């Protein structure tokens, strides 16, 4: 089954990592240009080239269990494969939580081998989001603790409500972060601040998160999603291949020696010259008009 956006509802797609269980729950509808696909613990809709995935386990403050993580993997895979989706937003349902972490009730009695599998699933999913060939934004609408902060850090940008709270409180329950927190937090805010946050397990509010560079923008709660969508639509109208190259160069250049990173950037920049959008962008500039990008 395929929508005009090319969103498919596959039963099992091993090549693309799809999990049949969650898709047996999935259904698809289309109304007034909004395309929805329903999962058990996620809401998924696409409008104007912007996909919005909403974590939706309100009883557990959107905590991530295995089932929800598999659904996130499937939804992110759809976003990766559908060229009509230009930008991804992740957010949480309700007014209280983005994601209150990995599901503690599921983790409580895990043995190390099972814990490792739980962490591997989460990390595979977050790495998929981090390396999507299109931009992603976390719209953090409340508690983003533990795995919640980690999911937000796998996105390219974090927009927060004034009510948002971030933190890696795993130490308070005898753990450390397991979905990349020790790695991504130190890259985003520096090692000293990351160690303080992870070792003390304290929460920070949106203002503090903004001050340390964890958050890009802050909005009143009722404006968070509309403003994030507005920003995402703007990104969706930009030259898609150039966005992909910018992300690739930043992601993969970050850990390289400077000379190698600059070489990577040059190659990515040079590749943009193979696109119609580059020709159109420069032509429009010289003709003093707005460019019309086609994504090719
Ligand atoms: N896992 C499972 N259930 C959770 C949860 C979680 N991470 N966070 C909240 N819940 C559940 C609560 O158990 C509670 O359920 P019941 O109503 O059935 O009792 C419900 O959500 C509401 O939560 P609270 O009553 O605790 O709400 P509150 O307003 O008093 O507190 C909170 C909100 C500060 C977010 C608090 O719920 C909290 O501290 N949650 C846990 C945060 C946490 O430690 N996250 C890290 C998890 S470990 C991790 O993520 C590992 C990793 O890196 C992968």
User: End of a domain among 236, 255, 271?
Assistant: 236
Both 48 and 157 in one domain: the answer is yes
Q: Whose CA is nearest to atom 12 of ligand 1?
A: 60
Report the number of distinct structural domains present in the chain. 2
Largest separation between any pair of C-alpha atoms in the chain: 66
Q: Tell me: the pLDDT tens digits for 111-151?
A: 999 999 999 999 999 999 999 999 999 999 999 999 999 99
Report, as an integer, the average pLDDT of 18-34: 55
- Global pTM? 0.93
Q: Of residues 67, 71, 130, 150, which has the active-site annotation?
A: 150
Q: Would residue 295 count as lying in a domain?
A: no
Both 246 and 185 in one domain: the answer is no
245 C-beta closer than 6 A to ligand 1: no
> Ligand 1 test: best mutation among 93, 104, 109, most atoms within 8 Å of CB?
104
Catalytic, 170? Answer yes
Residue 13 pLDDT level (bands cut at 50, 70, 90) = very low
Q: Whose CA is nearest to atom 14 of ligand 1?
A: 60
Both 280 and 203 in one domain: the answer is no
Catalytic, 227? Answer no
Q: Tell me: the pLDDT tens digits for 38-47?
A: 899 999 999 9
Q: Tokens 């895990």 map to which residue?
A: 110
142 C-beta closer than 6 A to ligand 1: no
Per-residue pLDDT at 265 exceeds 80: yes
pLDDT score, position 24 = 41
Both 188 and 248 in one domain: the answer is no
CA distances from 71 to 12, 44, 63, 75, 146 (A): 13, 10, 13, 6, 19
Region for 48 from its dihedrals, namely left if φ exceeds 0, alpha if ψ lies in -120 to 50, beta otherwise: left
pLDDT score, position 34 = 84
Both 199 and 268 in one domain: the answer is no
> Ligand 1 test: best mutation among 55, 57, 60, most atoms within 8 Å of CB?
60
Domain that holds residue 278: 240-286
Q: Would residue 67 count as lying in a domain?
A: yes
Q: Whose CA is nearest to atom 4 of ligand 1?
A: 60
Q: How many CB atoms lie within 10 A of CB 9?
A: 13
Q: Would residue 8 count as lying in a domain?
A: no
């Amino acid at each position: 089954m395929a929508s005009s956006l090319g969103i498919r509802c596959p039963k099992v797609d091993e090549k693309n990592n799809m999990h049949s269980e969650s898709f047996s729950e999935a259904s698809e509808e289309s109304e007034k240009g909004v395309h929805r696909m329903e999962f058990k613990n996620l809401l998924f809709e696409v409008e104007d080239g912007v996909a919005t995935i909403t974590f939706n386990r309100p009883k557990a403050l959107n905590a991530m269990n295995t089932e929800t993580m598999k659904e996130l993997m499937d939804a992110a895979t759809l976003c990766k494969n559908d060229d009509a989706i230009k930008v991804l937003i992740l957010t949480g349902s309700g007014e209280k939580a983005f994601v209150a972490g990995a599901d503690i009730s599921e983790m409580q009695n895990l043995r190390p081998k099972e814990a490792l599998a739980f962490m591997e699933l989460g990390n595979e999913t977050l790495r998929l989001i981090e390396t999507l060939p299109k931009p992603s934004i976390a719209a953090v609408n409340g508690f983003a603790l533990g795995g919640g902060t980690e999911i937000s850090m796998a996105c390219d940008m974090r927009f927060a409500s004034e009510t948002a709270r971030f933190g890696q409180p795993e130490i308070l329950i005898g753990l450390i972060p397991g979905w990349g927190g020790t790695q991504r937090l130190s890259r985003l805010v520096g090692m000293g601040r990351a160690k303080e946050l992870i070792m003390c397990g304290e929460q920070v509010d949106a203002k503090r998160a903004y001050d340390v560079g964890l958050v890009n923008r802050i909005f009143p709660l009722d404006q968070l999603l509309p403003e994030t969508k507005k920003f995402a639509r703007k990104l969706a109208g930009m030259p898609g291949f150039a966005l992909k190259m910018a992300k690739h160069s930043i992601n993969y250049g970050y850990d390289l020696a400077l000379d190698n990173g600059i070489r990577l950037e040059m190659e990515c920049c040079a590749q943009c010259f193979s696109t119609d959008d580059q020709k159109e962008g420069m032509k429009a500039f010289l003709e003093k008009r707005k460019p019309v990008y086609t994504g090719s």
